Amino acid sequence: MPLFPELRPYQDEAFERAAPSAVHVITRWRDSEKNLRTGLLRILRHAGVKPWPRFYQNLRSSRETELVETFPIHVVAESLGNSPKTALAYYMQVTEEHYQRALQNPVQQPAALPCIEPQEQTAETLNSEAVRELAIRSDSLRRNLMTPTGFEPVSRP
């Protein structure tokens, strides 16, 4: 199994602590009688972290998602013992960072600037019969031809 660079310091430390004739540098968890789940739950509670559902699968999912940010998916899947199809179906996550990067998309256009100068309105134009008629037709058209919202159901008081 490949060793990812961020794990190297921990492996080196375990190697330094191991006996000169040791075959394995990490021996504590090699006993098949030990329950890793119980130990991890104890560590989480001691740290004040609430255990999450299916934490081993979620840990694997988080790691696989992190690795795909750096390595191609076929390499990650091979390293972790699954197929790209399985990785995509069960392990890939959309992270908060993905959302943040999507929201900061430089291709998006900035919002339009507001109108700087208001139109002049005189008493003559406000009282004009033509303006009133146009407003009535516009309101009627809006009510009859356009829905007040998109596809959502309309709730009216």
Q: Which of 44, 97, 42, 45 is nearest to 69 (CA)?
A: 97
Per-domain boundaries in the chain:
10-51, 53-102
- Specify the pTM: 0.53
Q: Which of 54, 53, 31, 51 is nearest to 43 (CA)?
A: 51
Please report, in tens digits, the pLDDT of each residue of the chain (157 residues total). Answer: 567 788 889 889 988 988 888 888 877 777 777 788 888 889 999 999 998 888 888 888 999 999 999 999 999 999 889 999 999 998 999 988 888 888 876 665 566 666 566 566 665 555 666 666 666 665 555 555 555 555 555 555 5
> What angle is formed at CA 40 by the lines to CA 90 and CA 84, rounded to 5 degrees?
20
Q: Which of 51, 31, 53 is nearest to 40 (CA)?
A: 51
55-68 helix and 36-47 helix, angle to the nearest 10 degrees? 80
Q: Contact at 8 Å (CB) between 41 and 51?
A: yes
